[in-house]
Amino acid sequence: MEQTEMIKIFDDNKKEIGVATREEAHSKGFWHKTFHCWFYNKDNGRVSMYLQKRSNKKQDYPGLLDITAAGHILSNETVSDGVREVTEETGIRVSFSDLIPLGVINYCVTNEDIGFIDKEIAHVFLYEANHSFDDFRLSLEEVSGIVKVDFNDFSSLWLGKTNEIKIEGFDTDQSGERLYVCKNVGKEAFVPHELEYYKRVIYLMGKAI
């Protein structure tokens, strides 16, 4: 499936210039649209964020912590269709009307070691998730675990105020068994989105909640 997904591509002025495979978009550095959904939870005034742990089977950034659910918007889809990524990756069913829009964030990340140029026109959303870890039914080819982190801690990490933060949740081993996770991690444990992307999400999320 991944090998045949077609996405709209854009030039540096964000003008649509055609359609390409996602692999071509990443190898040639075309701008393309993506859908990002960050889950959060409020409990007695404390705000937590849910993060996914990418499957070790993923070609790019295996085993790293990332946005709760995210993916490419296909050439025949609108932004609202991107909500399918939430169900596909987490097993949590949401409707587009449940989401809080944070706007569009453009950013570029390059990994020269694997010839990977990721230029994303990211449509970013929040979802207030009143779910337990048992509610998640993961697509293990994509996501191996879900963890929670305090929003203030997450902010402190990406704003340079601390070097490590606590995560708690579960990962899945090769047999499919869920394993409890509770540990401290630094920035190296996360997908290396642009620092400005993380800062922008923190600012917009802070305003929205």
Rounded CA-CA distance 1/12 in Å is: 28
Number of compact structural domains in the chain: 1
Mean pLDDT of all residues in 194-204: 97
Q: What is the residue-averaged pLDDT of the chain?
A: 95
Phi, psi (rounded to 5 degrees) for 121: -100, 90
Kindly give the interhelix angle for 195-208 and 151-158, rounded to the nearest 10 degrees: 150
List the domain range (segments joined by +) for residue 170.
2-208
% of the chain at pLDDT higher than 90: 90
Mean pLDDT of all residues in 183-190: 98
CATH of the domain at 20: 3.90.79.10
DSSP label at 37?
Answer: E
Query: What is the dihedral sign for C-alpha 26, 111, 120, 153?
Result: positive
pLDDT band for position 2 (cuts 50, 70, 90): very low
